Amino acid sequence: MELKTKYQYTYFIYPFAIEEGKYKRYLQRLLQNKKCRVRFFDKQKDIHLYTYFLPNIREYMFWSFGLNKDGIKNFSKLDSTVKSTLLAKHDCNIFNYDLPEILQGKVVGDNGIFFEISEIKVICYKTGICFLLFKTNLQTDNSFSDLLNFNYKFREVNSISYNLKEYENIRIQSNVFKDVKDISTVIKEITGEDDISIKTNIGNDKFFVYSYACLDQKDWNENTENEGLDSLFEKYRSVLPANSHLIDDEYATKGNPKNEEKKSIYKNQYIRYGFTATSTVLLTSTVNTSNFTVVPQKYESEYFYTYIITLYKKLLLNKLNYEFKNKFKQAEEGLLDFTKRLWIQDITNEEFGSRLENNWIENLDLNNLYAKIKNEYDVTYKKYNIEEMNKNNKITIAVVICIVVINIIAILYTGLFAG
């Protein structure tokens, strides 16, 4: 079943972590990089974001909504040291990484896939959790199979096993990159030497995938057989190549309704959302005009940032779990702040946005993760208090012994002179 995409894009999301004590220095390094620019949000231009997010989350993610034009001009006049100090006080900062040209590439061979990297962003949280985002587009008149193969291969471009996989012949055609593996150089340039992702269990060997595709109505209309479409959609959702064989085809398409709901929370005749722990995809048809106008714009703005916030919660919990074993007091403060400012806060009042958030929470297993961290905190808290109490007792005993010794010496000293 060969399908044609009329419009598509994929965000590849690379998470990394910076030590909080080095966060301000990291921001300064980004500011000194001429390719990086702070992304300022405007209430008029970005009204869709301003009205979608509730005030607390809006302030957490997009603090620059509170700036006017003069404020932005005054900020731009400051040196990088002062700028980094000011930015480090905010919970989240977003940077655009300027490209000297659109990065074009292809897969060499009979099934060559021509693509471009049209956008790179860096999202940094004060906790040290950061995201590097690559937006890619396949050039026009591509098959849906090309998109499946490209997503499957590109998500591992920074992994050790990249050259061992199928479809490895991706080559960048531009003056910037000679080979797609050079993207690892860009990743290293942006993340720097202070990346502590491995020891904090962030998990960034493969990109997270956030993808949109709109099929031509000739390929997806009222006469289309759902079974063939379901099979391709399952490969899209699972980030598998086009020629892969689905072991759980029957489970994916005809299984328990509860399981299907977990994989696709919204499904009508011409829209399908799919989810895994590491991917989110949206497949639509041009039968409905909104599917290639309103839907893709909303999907990569309001819903995309909702996904980033939810993913951030998961990675921050992983980081806190690590810190409980090494920096208890810091982790305790972090968990309390996280619970108060993010965990118990609603992100939006929009019904469908909330449904998406709930589905991401389920697929990322956030509720179970938070419960485990809370249990870890309770156990560590008791252990920490016992150790502190024992430590204080030892200090108290030592002080008492010192006082007794001093008193004995004083008595002996007084008796000596009295005699």
Does 390 map to a domain? no
Going from the C-alpha of 65 to that of each of 345, 374, 415, the distances in angstroms are 20, 34, 78
Residue 310 above 70 pLDDT?
yes
Residue 2: the pLDDT is 79
Is residue 50 within a helix (H) or strand (E), and if so which, with residue range?
helix 47-52
Q: Is residue 66 part of a domain?
A: yes
What local confidence, expressed as pLDDT, does residue 101 receive? Answer: 65
Read off the pLDDT of residues 178-190 as tens digits, 9 standing for 90 and up: 666 678 888 888 9
Does 383 have pLDDT greater than 80?
no
Q: At what angle do helices 328-338 and 302-324 cross, to 10 degrees?
A: 150
Question: What is the arithmetic mean of pLDDT over 279-304?
Answer: 95
Range of the domain at 267: 4-368
Higher pLDDT, 384 or 186: 186
Residues forming a β-bridge with 282? 212, 273
375, part of any domain: no
Binned at pLDDT 50, 70 and 90, residue 88 comes out as very high
In contact, 274 and 237? CB cutoff 8 Å: yes
H/E element holding 5? Answer: strand 4-17
The least confident of 169-178, 260-269, 278-287 is: 169-178
The beta-strand segments (E) located in 55-169 are: 92-97, 103-107, 115-125, 129-138, 142-143
Lowest mean pLDDT among 29-33, 59-63, 265-269, 388-392: 388-392
pLDDT of residue 253: 43
Cα(214)–Cα(6) distance, rounded to whole angstroms?
Answer: 6
List Cα–Cα distances, 123 to 38, 68, 165, 191, 392, in angstroms.
10, 22, 29, 11, 43
The b/e string for 70-102 (b: 16+ C-beta within 10 A; e otherwise) is eeeeebeeeeeeebbeebbebbbbbbebebeee
| Lowest-pLDDT range of 98-102, 203-207, 272-276 | 98-102
The answer to which of 244-258, 291-305, 318-332, 334-348 has the lowest mean pLDDT is 244-258
> Could you tell me which of 189, 171, 191 has the C-alpha nearest to residue 181?
171
pLDDT over threshold 70, residue 399: no
308-318 average pLDDT score? 95
Round the average pLDDT of the chain to a whole number and report it. 83
- Contact between residue 280 and residue 299 where contact means Cβ atoms under 8 Å apart: no
Q: What is the pLDDT of residue 389?
A: 55
pLDDT at 172: 46
d(CA 116, CA 297): 19
Residue 382 included in any domain = no
Report the alpha-carbon distance of residue 145 to residue 151 in Å, rounded: 10
| Cross-strand bridge partners of residue 7 | 214
pLDDT at 179: 65
Q: Residue 85: which H helix or E strand, with range? A: helix 80-87
Rounded CA-CA distance 390/396 in Å is 10
The domain tally of the chain equals 1
Question: Which 8-state DSSP code applies to residue 139?
Answer: P
Q: Is 414 domain-assigned?
A: no
List, for residues 204-261, the tens digit of each pLDDT value.
678 999 999 999 999 999 888 778 888 899 999 999 988 888 765 444 444 445 455 5
Average pLDDT over residues 322-337: 86
Pick the range with the lowest mean pLDDT from 18-32, 50-64, 229-243, 393-407. Answer: 393-407
In a domain, 415, yes or no: no
Residue 172 lies in a domain: yes
Confidence category of residue 271, pLDDT binned at 50, 70, 90:
very high
Count other Cβ atoms within 10 Å, centred on residue 319. 23
Three-state DSSP state, 95: strand
Question: Given this model, what pLDDT does residue 111 score?
Answer: 52
pLDDT average, residue stretch 57-83: 95
Percent of the chain with pLDDT over 70: 76
Residue 378, pLDDT score: 79
In a domain, 385, yes or no: no
